[in-house]
């Protein structure tokens, strides 16, 4: 299985977000290292998808790694990435203050989904 890498730059929060799909768990860490030059000791879990945030000396990167495309799982992982971004920027999230989170999840999902769909049409 050959890993495909989809990249989206979230302008408002200046966040590079990557979708790695399809990808096997043993390919996650080498792929992330190739993209941002960072080695880290997060073991690849034996699950269908992961949300991962890593930093090098210049930038914070956000990754969603999925064995196969599943839109409901993609939304789930987008929530994790949105929460990483908002927490790191100290944006409060609560039951009463969740609109920013909802908009960011929608934005991330829409853009990654569009990239995935567009690439599939090209092949």
- Is pLDDT at 33 greater than 70 in this prediction? yes
> pLDDT tens-digit profile of 88-121?
999 998 889 899 999 999 999 999 999 988 766 6
Residue in 102, 89, 118 with CA at minimum distance from that of residue 8: 118
The pLDDT of residue 38: 86
Which domain, by its residues, includes 45? Answer: 5-122
The pLDDT of residue 123: 47
Percentage, residues of the chain above pLDDT 70: 92
Q: How many domains does the chain have?
A: 1
Mean pLDDT of the chain: 89
| Dist. CA 67–CA 56, nearest whole Å | 25
């Amino acid at each position: 299985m050959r890993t495909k890498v989809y990249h989206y730059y979230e302008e408002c929060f200046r966040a590079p977000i990557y979708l790695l799909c399809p990808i096997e768990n043993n390919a996650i860490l080498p792929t992330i290292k190739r993209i941002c030059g960072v080695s880290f000791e997060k073991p690849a879990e034996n699950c269908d998808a992961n949300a991962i945030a890593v930093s090098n000396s210049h930038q914070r990167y956000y990754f969603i790694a999925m064995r196969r495309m599943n839109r409901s799982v993609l939304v789930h992982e987008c929530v994790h990435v949105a929460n990483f971004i908002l927490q790191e920027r100290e944006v409060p999230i609560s039951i009463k203050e969740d609109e920013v989170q909802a908009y960011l999840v929608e934005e991330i999902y829409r853009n990654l989904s569009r990239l995935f769909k567009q690439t599939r049409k090209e092949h």
